[in-house]
Amino acid sequence: MRQYVRVEGGKVMEVVEHPDDFNIPPAYHPSLMWIEVTDVRPAPQVGWLFDRGTGVFAAVRPQAEPPDPTDEIGGALLNLKGSGATTDQLIDVLLGNAGRQGRIAGQSV
């Protein structure tokens, strides 16, 4: 069996296997870019990038999801629950330094 990938826009979109005697060009539309990867290790996967100039496949590193700021704020507020925190302390938790600066600016006006 031989393995092929279909590349579109520099990205692997499809991976297929065909018998050794299978001929790709007449089987698919000529506008599709198929590349044999039978001997490429590690084997390219859907989503990998392909550099046409160098012929190199590269796995895409998954991007870490940005932290959800509501998790941090919610946790901070839970810690203050029942603590008798003042409004100013709650503002500091929610706005950090911006809360302190706003109060100072508001007092000096």
Is the distance from CB of 39 to CB of 5 less than 8 angstroms?
no
Backbone angles phi, psi at 97, to 5 degrees: -60, -30
pLDDT above 60: residue 109: no
Q: What are 70-86's pLDDT values in tens digits?
A: 777 677 667 767 777 77
Q: What are 85-103's pLDDT values in tens digits?
A: 777 777 776 776 665 665 5
State residue 85's pLDDT score: 72
Identity of the amino acid at 22? F
Tokens of 7: 């590349």
Is the distance from CB of 12 to CB of 50 less than 8 angstroms?
yes
State residue 106's pLDDT score: 55
Task: Provide the pLDDT confidence category of residue 104 given band limits of 50, 70 and 90.
Answer: low
Q: What are 10-64's pLDDT values in tens digits?
A: 999 999 999 999 988 888 899 999 999 999 999 999 999 999 999 999 998 877 8
State residue 101's pLDDT score: 63
Catalogue the long-range contacts made by 84-90 (C-beta closer than 8 Å, 24 or more residues apart).
none
Task: Return d(Cα 83, Cα 63) in angstroms, integer.
Answer: 38
